[in-house]
Amino acid sequence: MHILLTRPLEDCSEMILKFQSLGNQVSHLPLLKIFKLNYDEINFTDYKGIIFTSVNAVKFLDVTTIDKKLLCFCVGDATEKKARNVGFQNVISAEGNVENLKELILQNFDQKDGKLIYLSGEIISIDLDQQLSKEGYSIRRIVNYRTIHNENFNDKFVKELKLNMPDIVYVYSQNSAISFLKFIKLYKSENLWMNTNLMCMGEKTSAILNEIKWKKIFLFNPGEEEFLLYKI
């Protein structure tokens, strides 16, 4: 089976090796570039909990002076793993989406327990900080990374891809879907995907790519990528 992965290499290198070990051909088309942003110095002793909605929010945080026993709320297992890898000890994970993360916080952190700090990228699908503020929480959002569309694709790679179209492509965010649609139109490949299964994280992500004819569209949560191989 031919699989196309679209995340930055550092975010999918393990998955590439995993899929290859299962006998699949794996192609890599990074749709986004991610950069660290500078932010004002944070006194983490002022906060009783920290919220991460992505692996990159953890990756681009300077954790050297942070108490690693600080309670961490993570959107999913990959983010939890990253938080533990950088030293955090008290980590709780939701089921891969922000709505579940909000419920996790409501159930495990009382408004009276203290302030929360929320680390995220510039572009977010849900205003989690505003929603929690309406619930009575004291929360501060810090933007510590920026995502931009990758516009530099290898022409040789694209030519080979068009000659050997993937059976499956994974798209992880609305921003990635927008970038993927631009890529498809840039290389005039709108009619080449009808035998490809599109795997999207969330309905809003898949809706962006609905104008392209796919074999089937599946929705998934992080960690379910391998499971989806057996559904097609």
Cβ-based neighbour number of residue 88 at 10 Å: 22
- Pick the closest to residue 91 from 139, 224, 101 (CA basis): 101
SS3 annotation, 126-195 = CCHHHHHHHCCCCEEEEEEEEEEECCCCCHHHHHHHHHCCCCEEEECCHHHHHHHHHHHHHCCCCCCCCC
Query: Are 111 and 76 members of one domain?
Result: yes
Picking from 82, 118, 121, 84, the residue whose alpha carbon sits closest to that of residue 101 is 118
Residues 93 and 167 in one domain: no
Residues 123 and 184 in one domain: no
Q: Are residues 56 and 116 in the same domain?
A: yes
* 44 and 24 part of one domain: no
Category of 114 on φ-ψ map: left (φ > 0), alpha (ψ -120 to 50) or beta: left
Q: How far apart are CA 59 and CA 51, in angstroms?
A: 13
The CATH number for 119's domain is 3.40.50.10090
Last residue of a domain, one of 117, 147, 177: 147
* Domain termination residue (choose one: 147, 176, 203): 147
Instruction: Give, for all 232 residues of the chain, the pLDDT tens digit.
Output: 999 999 988 888 889 999 999 999 999 999 999 999 998 889 999 999 999 998 999 999 999 999 999 999 999 888 999 999 999 999 999 977 888 999 999 999 999 999 999 999 998 878 899 999 999 999 999 999 999 999 889 999 999 999 999 999 999 989 999 999 999 999 999 999 999 999 998 899 999 999 999 999 999 887 889 988 888 8
| Domain co-membership, 91 together with 46 | yes
Q: Does 158 lie in the same domain as 141?
A: no
Q: Sheet containing 32-36: give its strands across.
A: 32-36, 139-149, 116-121, 49-52, 71-74, 91-93
For residues 109 and 122, state if they share a domain: yes
**Domain carrying residue 65:** 35-147
Question: Do both 155 and 143 map to the same domain?
Answer: no
Residues 72 and 27 in one domain: no
How many domains would you assign to the chain? 2
Q: Which of 77, 133, 63, 145 is nearest to 105 (CA)?
A: 133
pTM for this predicted structure? 0.81
Torsion angle of C-alpha atoms 81, 84, 90, 95, degrees rounded to 10:
-10
Statement to judge: residues 108 and 202 lie in one domain: no
Does residue 218 share a domain with residue 156?
Answer: yes
Last residue of a domain, one of 147, 180, 214: 147
| Identity of the residue numbered 19 | F
